[in-house]
């Protein structure tokens, strides 16, 4: 009931164009992360994961949301230069919007620019420490760099938030029972 009320409040604030949508969005994210951590199976976890991604992709600013949609479309078509230019616009408008940094990291990764991707992942995690996508992405980059121990730590850190993370299969099972160390 509370979750339903928060959703209605958040949607109504978004439709009204108010800035006050952020606290409702944050409350929904907190709820979803709690549900994700308690998910009993992969199907349930995937549904919750999708809801988290939707919340991350909506900034509450119509200009930013439009630019994000354009950037995702450019990425889908492989136009990484255009996607990056659009995401640069977004981070210029709102440097506190974590998902723009995460999407920039993804574009840099797709361009094999791992150092810039890692810098954008770091910014994403400053703004949203629970960003399992950024944590897992950092792990995949570390694997590509041949830094397996760091990769395992990063993926395990992501699993602290998302126990059914797809990238968990990249971690040998003997490491899964050990706590994630430095992130």
- pLDDT digit string (tens) for 141-174? 999 999 999 999 999 999 999 999 988 887 766 6
Kindly report the three-state secondary structure assignment for every residue of 165-181. Answer: CHHHHHCCHHHHCCCCC
Query: With 50 as the cut, is the pLDDT of residue 8 above it?
Result: no
d(CA 38, CA 34): 6
The pTM (predicted TM-score) of the whole model is 0.82
d(CA 35, CA 44): 9
**Cβ pair 97, 113 in contact under 8 A:** no
Residue 154: HSE in the Cβ half-sphere, 13 Å Cα cutoff: 23
More confident residue, 96 or 11: 96
pLDDT digits (tens, 9 = 90+) for 15-62: 444 445 677 888 999 999 999 999 999 999 999 999 999 999 999 899
**Cβ pair 69, 59 in contact under 8 A:** no
pLDDT of residue 173: 64
Segments making up each domain of the chain, as ranges: 1-58
Query: With 60 as the cut, is the pLDDT of residue 135 above it?
Result: yes
d(CA 12, CA 60): 11
Nearest Cα to 42, choosing from 160, 166, 158, 136?
Answer: 166
**Cβ pair 56, 44 in contact under 8 A:** no
């Amino acid at each position: 009931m509370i979750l339903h009320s928060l959703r209605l409040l958040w949607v109504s604030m978004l439709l009204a164009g108010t800035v006050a949508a952020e606290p409702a969005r944050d409350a929904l994210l907190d709820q979803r992360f709690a549900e994700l951590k308690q998910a009993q199976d992969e199907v349930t976890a995937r549904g919750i994961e999708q809801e988290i991604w939707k919340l991350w992709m909506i900034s509450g600013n119509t200009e930013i949301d439009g630019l994000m949609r354009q950037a995702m479309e450019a990425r889908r078509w492989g136009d990484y230069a255009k996607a990056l230019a659009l995401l640069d616009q977004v981070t210029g408008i709102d440097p506190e919007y974590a998902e723009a940094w995460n999407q920039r990291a993804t574009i840099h990764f797709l361009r094999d620019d791992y150092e810039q991707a890692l810098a954008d992942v770091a910014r994403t995690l400053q703004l949203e420490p629970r960003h399992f996508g950024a944590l897992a992405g950092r792990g995949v980059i570390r694997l590509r760099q041949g830094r397996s121990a760091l990769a395992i730590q990063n993926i395990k850190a992501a699993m602290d938030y998302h126990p059914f993370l797809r990238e968990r299969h990249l971690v040998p099972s003997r490491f899964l029972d050990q706590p994630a160390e430095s992130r």
